[in-house]
């Protein structure tokens, strides 16, 4: 099954009762889940058009419902003004076959012109649409447009924020996480594989869920207020709900059934995740320790990824047949594989490899030049400050810096310095490197801070101030939640309260 199919099926499950709050949570949860496995940019670009289409359908449905209501109110006023008794209304319409025009003066505000035709069997016919827009209809339209403009802003922000938050949950979710892994292995070779897929997921996934819920509540408060009726859909238009649900369902039907290639990719993906989780789970010996890593760490997370990648070059993209001939009598050729080198060469993000290599070169340059030693000695007075205060201040600094620079550049620049500082003041390196790496992904305030923000901003309904207002609070909340996670289950998982032996190295040439 393709990524789009999985995402739409998740949204459909959340939309059986498509209340506004459920809509936003459904899109945020789906986007965050996708960002755990694919790039934040791709997940945002995939989900934003669907979210905007659903909101547009809700707005159009509400407009049609209001027009019908206005027409019914106008026709009631017209019939009451003719003096025809209520029990003789149908009889009066049966007597004439010609059209009847009723003009209603709405207190000087506007003029309605209704052409009324009798139906067969004496059933009244609804009037034609009003010719001129009344003052009341105009006010309703402006109010409805303002409401859905707010909802559109909130939905766009929720999708791009969920993409950035979801990428922090897995080691492969975003590039800064991989940079931390590489820097720790480079600077502290004997770290005993403290950062792997399972350990990262165990720490970051609960924090991601907490941040996602808080972000959802904050956006609900900003764009819907504290009105529970608006937020959770009490009294919503049922026709609009069904039509919005239909938009998502139609997109899902367009994808068709699962093909053989999609099934193979899904199986390989599930197998990859299972091997990552069970390689070194932490609470028990993993399969890598039992089979390969008894003496030396031969098998790592990268080994599993390379194995799965190799299978993509071997498994066919179509169900193979044993022999046989085609319709023109020629022997059947072997189907193409799931992946080939031409596709890899074109689609592979080689820039990430160059960025990682540049980060390692920067770290090595800091060591050889003596910059790391100088920075460590300069930051030695920080030893008198409580560790939690150091972590909090550094997280604020990183979250501020990443608004003006890419998260990759931020982590590449900061992590070697933080490692030197931690060694100098005898603080666990992960106590400052881990939270700052996650904070580098908290780019919520500016459109240029990260590609998901730029995609949301490009839709035209957002202003810079809209993103700054929502993002400022989320930045503060994100820093707080990360530090809470660090000093609770993070300290227990990584033993952050003691300075490890593997970190007792001198980061100098």
pLDDT at 152: 82
Cβ(148)–Cβ(156) below 8 Å: no
What's the predicted TM-score (pTM) here?
A: 0.72
Residue 92 or residue 203, greater confidence? 203
- Per-residue pLDDT averaged across 413-432, rounded? 89
- φ, ψ of residue 127 to 5 degrees: the values are -70, 160
Chain mean position to CA 175: 16
Residue 225 or residue 205, greater confidence? 205
- φ, ψ of residue 42 to 5 degrees: the values are -65, -40
Is residue 428's pLDDT more than 90?
A: yes
* The three-state (H, E, C) secondary structure of 85-102, written as one string: CHHHHHHHHHHCCCCEEE
- Half-sphere CA count of 244, side-chain side, radius 13 A: 28
Please report, rounded to a whole number, the percentage of residues in the chain having pLDDT higher than 90. Answer: 21
Is residue 201's pLDDT more than 80?
A: yes
Per-residue pLDDT of 355-402, as tens digits, reads 677 767 776 777 788 777 787 677 777 778 899 999 999 999 999 988
- The C-alpha angle 343, 346, 347, rounded to 5 degrees, equals 80
Alpha helices in 280-340 (DSSP H): 287-291, 301-312
CB neighbourhood size of 361 (10 A): 11
């Amino acid at each position: 099954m393709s990524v789009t199919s999985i995402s739409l099926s998740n949204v459909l499950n959340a939309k059986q009762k498509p209340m506004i709050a459920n809509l936003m949570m459904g899109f945020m949860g789906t986007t965050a889940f996708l960002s755990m496995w694919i790039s934040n940019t791709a997940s945002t670009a995939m989900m934003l058009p669907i979210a905007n289409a659903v909101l547009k359908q809700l707005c159009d449905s509400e407009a049609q419902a209001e027009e019908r209501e206005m027409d019914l109110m106008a026709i009631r006023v017209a019939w009451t003004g003719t003096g025809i008794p209520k029990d003789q209304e149908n009889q009066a319409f049966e007597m004439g076959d010609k059209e009847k025009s009723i003009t209603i003066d709405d207190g000087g505000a506007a003029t309605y012109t209704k052409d009324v035709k009798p139906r067969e069997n004496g059933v009244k016919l609804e009037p034609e649409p009003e010719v001129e827009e009344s003052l009341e209809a105009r006010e309703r339209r402006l109010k409805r447009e303002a409401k859905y403009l707010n909802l559109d802003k909130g939905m766009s922000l929720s999708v791009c924020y969920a993409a950035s938050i979801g990428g922090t949950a897995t080691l492969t979710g975003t590039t800064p996480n991989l940079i931390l892994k590489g820097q720790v292995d480079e600077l502290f070779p004997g770290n005993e594989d403290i950062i792997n897929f399972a350990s990262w997921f165990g720490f970051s996934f609960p924090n991601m869920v907490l941040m996602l819920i808080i972000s959802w509540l904050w956006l609900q408060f900003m764009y819907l207020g504290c009105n529970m009726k608006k937020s959770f859909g009490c009294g919503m238009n049922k026709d609009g709900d069904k039509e919005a649900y239909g938009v998502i369902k139609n997109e899902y039907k367009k994808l068709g059934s699962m093909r053989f290639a999609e099934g193979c990719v899904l199986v390989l993906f599930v197998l990859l995740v299972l091997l990552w989780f069970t390689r070194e789970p932490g609470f028990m010996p993993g399969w890598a320790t039992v089979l390969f890593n008894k003496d030396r760490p031969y098998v790592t997370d990268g080994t599993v990824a390379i194995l799965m990648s190799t299978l993509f070059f071997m498994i066919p993209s179509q169900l193979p047949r044993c022999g046989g001939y085609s319709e023109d009598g020629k022997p059947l050729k072997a189907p193409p594989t799931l992946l080939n080198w031409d596709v890899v060469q074109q689609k592979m993000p080689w820039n990430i490899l160059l960025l990682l290599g540049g980060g390692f070169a920067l770290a090595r340059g800091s060591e050889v030049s003596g910059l790391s030693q100088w920075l460590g000695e300069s930051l030695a007075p920080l030893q008198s400050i409580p560790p939690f205060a150091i972590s909090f201040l550094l997280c604020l600094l990183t979250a501020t810096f990443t608004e003006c620079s890419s998260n990759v550049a931020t982590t590449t620049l900061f992590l070697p310095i933080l490692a030197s500082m931690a060694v100098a003041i005898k603080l666990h390196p992960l106590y400052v490197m881990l939270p700052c790496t996650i904070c580098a992904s908290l780019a919520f305030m500016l459109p240029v801070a990260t590609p998901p923000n730029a995609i949301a901003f490009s839709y035209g309904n957002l202003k810079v101030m809209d993103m700054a207002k929502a993002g400022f609070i989320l930045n503060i909340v994100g820093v707080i939640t990360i530090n809470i996670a660090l000093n609770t289950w993070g300290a227990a998982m990584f033993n952050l309260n003691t300075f490890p032996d593997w970190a007792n190295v001198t980061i100098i040439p």
